[in-house]
Chain A
Amino acid sequence: MNINLRSEKSRKSDITLFICNFKIILFSCIFLFFNSCSRDNSIIEGNEENRTLPEIMRSDVINQGDSLYAVKAPPFSEDIFPCSGCHADEEPNPNRRQLVDMHDDIDAIFSHDRENRWCLDCHSIDTRDSLKLASGKLIGFDESYKLCGQCHGDKLRDWKVGIHGKRTGEWNGKKQYLLCVHCHNPHSPKFKAIKPLPPPVQQKDIQL
């Protein structure tokens, strides 16, 4: 009986996962289409300076408008998204509390102003698959930088112009932006120390 229930639930979550994946693909298609259109426009309108450059070096439109950042999809841990996969069946509890059983791993590392904040300051209680801005506006996980930027406005400003965070691709063309959460765990944002690669050979150890 119990087993049956669980399998039905997981099937349900599989279906929602599929729908969600489909949504992501659709979104990226729309985004790519939109992006390619804008790129074409920029070439048509290309100023004198752009024309002397090889095509590969022409400026892209990444910094124009809020919705045009070529950012990677959010890095979800496996099987965690969509949140509604589990939460749809749960009675929402708006009370601040220590989490047990579920998400206790997040609770254990949570160090993002722990004293003053908890899950529902950023996650929407009613629409589980969305994040929530302070204004109450709902946003997708792929726009999470807007949520981070509510407090870290200086970082958001630098990130938009390509100073904060990592860019890859072309220095004067198409760039890949990463979301804040690709480098910072949103629940524990401080950078973790890592093992350095080996130091250079000491002069005394050089053999010719």
Chain B
Amino acid sequence: MNPISQSMQKEEKSNSRREFLKKLPVLAVGAAALGGCSPEEIEEYFQQNFKTLSKEEKEEIVKNLEKKYSEKYGKEFTVSDTPATDGILFGYALDLSRCIGCRKCVYACVEENNQSRDPQVHWIQVLQMEKKKGIDLVHADIHYNPEKVPEEGHFYMPVQCQQCRNPQCVSVCPTKATWQDEDGIVVVDYNWCIGCRYCMAACPYGARHFNWGEPNIPDEEINPITHYLGNRPRTKGVVEKCTFCIQRVREGKYPACVEICPTGSRKFGNLLDPDSEIRYILENKRVLVFKEELNTQPKFYYFFGV
């Protein structure tokens, strides 16, 4: 062996030793951090993005979650992973001429989707605006609280996730923790959300909400029928949003806000079905989308029923 190659070999050797020594503290810290975790927690920590999981892996994860939640909340939990069905694109329409601003939808949503009661998270915000000013966000009020609604000279515009076809929240997410599923619902994998809140900054509708504190829901009020990408219990530090009640609509039911609305202002259906309620509205009523100029292309439409 010539001297040059010998010295190179030596250098390589020392390099690899040096590399190993350099990595040692990192490994030590990592090991210490994971040392206190149970095997399930370690598995959950290294869990792949939900979109890339196989059917078997999803089943396993869902089963573990059901067990975990059932133990934590003391009742039988179901965590569904029902995927989107071909030929369905969900759309929503809200009748601005009929909404009376009673906020029943806000609280039906909180209950159905296990939003934190304290600190408070509301996926739906109802804006009160003056009829003579039209849709004027500068003067809109979400804290209105009169004796009775509707108030003279005012109209009400509930705002929630607009389920954009061109969702800015999705394009800014650095971890691909949020995406638009095949049926048009923009969903969040809470396990992959790192809480950077870029999506909240990108959303022009204020539709995304951050868990600043550990979510607080009384055990007896928790809704145990959940979907992995929807209303399953969240943790501190993740972003959440309206999913059109993914756990309901993928099983054929109307969203909770549609079911509760006392004026029947809220309409929901399949945009690809020409006989659906939603298509009738788009074809026969005066329809607008909120902040059209931003080219977010919402699948949430506002219309005038009269």
Contacts and interface: CB of A to CB of B under 8 A. Distances in A.
Nearest to B272: A49
Given A162-B277, A183-B264, A191-B263, A171 B103 contact: no
A31 to B, nearest CB: 22
Given A168-B254, A200-B120, A207-B119, A193 B144 contact: no
Interface stretch (B40-48, B69-77, B173-181, B245-253): B245-253
A105 B261 CA distance: 29
Contacts of A162: 267, 277, 280
Contacts of A56: 251-252
A206 B122 CA distance: 13
A200 B144 CA distance: 9
A116 B254 CA distance: 41
A196 to B, nearest CB: 5
A172 B213 contact: no
Interface stretch (B25-33, B145-153, B185-193, B195-203): B145-153
Given A171-B268, A199-B143, A207-B119, A163 B107 contact: no
A52 B86 contact: yes
Interface residues of A, number: 37
A140 B251 CA distance: 36
Contact of B254 (A57, A165, A171, A197): A171
Contacts, number: 114
A12 interface: no
Interface string A142-170: 00000000000000001001111111111
B273 interface: yes
Contacts of B104: 197
A128 B305 CA distance: 35
A60 B174 CA distance: 44
A195 interface: yes
A201 interface: yes
B16 interface: no
Contacts of A166: 261-264
Interface of A: 49, 52-54, 56-57, 59, 63, 158, 161-173, 183, 191, 193-202, 206-208
Interface of B: 85-87, 100-104, 106-107, 119-120, 122, 125, 142-150, 212-213, 249, 251-254, 258-259, 261-264, 267-270, 273, 275-277, 280-281, 285, 305
